[in-house]
Amino acid sequence: MSGRRALSLRVRLWLAGAAGVAIAALIAGSLLGTMFERYGQRALDQRLDDDFATLAGLLEAAPDGSWQLRRAPADERYARVFSGWYWRIGEGEGARQSRSLWDDELGIDAQVAPGPALWTQATGPRGQQLRVRVQQLRLPGVAVPVPVLVAADRGDVIAGTREFRRLAMLAFAGAAATLLALLAWQVEWGLRPLRRMRGILARVRNGDDVRFGDDCWPAEAAPLAQQIDELLDEHGRRVERARHAAADLAHALKTPLAVLSAEAQQPGPEIAAIVAGQVRRMQAEVERRLVGGFATDARRRTPVAPVADALAALFARAGDGRVTVGVEVTPDLVFAGAREDLEEMLGNLVDNAVKWASARVRVHAWRTGGRLWIAVDDDGPGMRPDALAEAVQRGTRLDTRVAGHGLGLSIVDDIASGYDGRLQLANLDPGFRAALDLPAGDPPPTS
């Protein structure tokens, strides 16, 4: 591949326009010159026709059956020696010719058949380029046709055409220069939107959060601006999703890591099983994030009681004994979804409740029709009523006195929404409740 850079749009447009103007000027100048030459030629031919008619009118039959010229034409052009205007009647010794030929002769064969005039070119006595009209006339009383020849110098036509071409080319050169100046302005004005686009893209590259918007872009540039805006928006969404995924994964691994840390400080006979279980949980969480984050699976069925009991035991082992976690869930309650999602939602809610509780956290559940309700209550200070709607927003931390990242409730709300569910927050008297509204599954069959 060659490293040669392509010409810019500005240069391409200017070169194309300049070539077009130059070609148009040359063609127009050539056509006008040809038209002027033809017009001059027709005017000269018309004068020769008139002079021929004058000569023909002066011819008459002589008494001996030959022809004679009543008088010579009075036109001064044919009287001035070598003037470039010549006539000749007849051939041989009886021929007559204009005084302008003096004693010279025109080397033109006038023996043509009677009928229409013959137009030809010849060289005059002084090397002039002559336009010649030859025709055989039949006169009443004259036995043989009479050849009549008139000729005129084409020098004036040639010189006039040459001068006209020169002046036309000068005029077209001036017009072309004006057009090229207008073309340069047109190119600059036409490419101005692209320069604006380049400036906006430079700001984007420097990190500014700007968009092209509907800033009166030309019809040709508007789709490009819109597509770039959509590309920037999609890039921003992908970056934001990547950040959220990284934050969610870190948050999901926080509890298993806390359990492993507690077991490492107080090793017991069950440490191997606990470590293996937490490792499996972290592996499942990582795999779930790698395959698309919260990919809900409503076909699976998960009993609620085992998950709640396991979480209560987990927090009891990882905690400092300040808060007790009680579970009041009957074995017949089933969540219509994946166990990992239920563990993620309940784990975040219980973790949040333990942080704020004074001494007690209670997990209880019930079923209403086809909906499963799971509530996590604590006896903590609760939340400001005006802050309940903000609590599920990603990254929102309403109190920095307790460690956290402001992600737990938003993760729960995201997973519940994937199952067409919701998270409801409410203050108790005293305490706080986080309740999950989820799809219920059929209870397992009894043996």
For residue 363, what pLDDT is reported? 96
**What's the rounded mean pLDDT across residues 414-420?**
87
Band (126; pLDDT cuts 50, 70, 90): confident
**What's the rounded mean pLDDT across residues 384-401?**
62
Residue 377: C-alpha distances to residues 61, 221, 323, 351 (Å): 143, 58, 12, 12
For residue 406, what pLDDT is reported? 42
For residue 340, what pLDDT is reported? 85
Q: Which residue has the higher pLDDT, 216 or 161?
A: 161
**What's the rounded mean pLDDT across residues 176-182?**
89
Band (388; pLDDT cuts 50, 70, 90): confident
Give the integer Cα–Cα distance in Å for 253 and 348: 11
Does 368 reside within a domain?
A: yes
Please state, rounded to an integer, the average pLDDT across all residues of the chain.
Answer: 82
**What's the rounded mean pLDDT across residues 369-383?**
92
Does 263 reside within a domain?
A: no
Does 88 reside within a domain?
A: yes
Least confident of 164-173, 251-260, 318-327, 366-375: 251-260
For residue 397, what pLDDT is reported? 47
Does 244 reside within a domain?
A: no
Q: Residue 31: is its pLDDT beyond 70?
A: yes
For residue 208, what pLDDT is reported? 81
- Please identify, among 136, 161, 186, the residue that sits at the C-terminal boundary of a domain: 161
Quote the longest CA-to-CA distance of the chain: 160
Question: Tokens 């070609």 map to which residue?
Answer: 23
Residue 300: C-alpha distances to residues 96, 189, 205, 341, 430 (Å): 126, 64, 46, 11, 37
CB 390 within 8 A of CB 403: no
Does 71 reside within a domain?
A: yes
Band (192; pLDDT cuts 50, 70, 90): confident
Task: Give the count of alpha carbons within 13 A of 70, CB side only.
Answer: 9
Q: Residue 127: is its pLDDT beyond 80?
A: yes
Least confident of 206-215, 248-257, 286-295, 438-447: 286-295
- Please identify, among 146, 161, 176, the residue that sits at the C-terminal boundary of a domain: 161
For residue 50, what pLDDT is reported? 94
- Please identify, among 161, 179, 207, the residue that sits at the C-terminal boundary of a domain: 161
Instruction: Assign 3-state DSSP to the chain and report helix, strand, coil percentages, each to 5.
Output: 50, 15, 35
Does 311 reside within a domain?
A: yes
Q: Residue 408: is its pLDDT beyond 70?
A: no
Band (400; pLDDT cuts 50, 70, 90): very low
CATH number at 117 reads 3.30.450
Least confident of 133-142, 206-215, 355-364: 206-215
pTM of the predicted protein model: 0.45
User: Percent of the chain scored above 70 by pLDDT?
Assistant: 83
Q: Residue 1: is its pLDDT beyond 90?
A: no
Band (48; pLDDT cuts 50, 70, 90): very high
Q: Which residue has the higher pLDDT, 263 or 342?
A: 342
Q: Helices 339-356 and 408-418 sit at what angle, rounded to 10 degrees?
A: 150
Q: Give the domain range for residue 56.
A: 10-161
**What's the rounded mean pLDDT across residues 135-144?**
88
**What's the rounded mean pLDDT across residues 377-384?**
89
**What's the rounded mean pLDDT across residues 354-367?**
93
Band (271; pLDDT cuts 50, 70, 90): confident
Regarding beta strands 96-97 and 85-89, do their DSSP bridges make them parallel or antiparallel, or are they unpaired? antiparallel
**What's the rounded mean pLDDT across residues 386-396?**
67
Residue 186: strand, helix, or coil: helix
CATH number at 337 reads 3.30.565.10
Q: Residue 252: is its pLDDT beyond 70?
A: no
Does 3 reside within a domain?
A: no
**What's the rounded mean pLDDT across residues 399-418?**
66
For residue 285, what pLDDT is reported? 67
Number of domains in the chain: 2
Most confident region among 89-98, 187-196, 218-227, 299-308 by mean pLDDT: 299-308
Does 198 reside within a domain?
A: no
49 closest CA partner among 169, 132, 157: 132
Least confident of 58-62, 257-261, 334-338: 257-261
Band (300; pLDDT cuts 50, 70, 90): confident
Q: Residue 412: is its pLDDT beyond 70?
A: yes
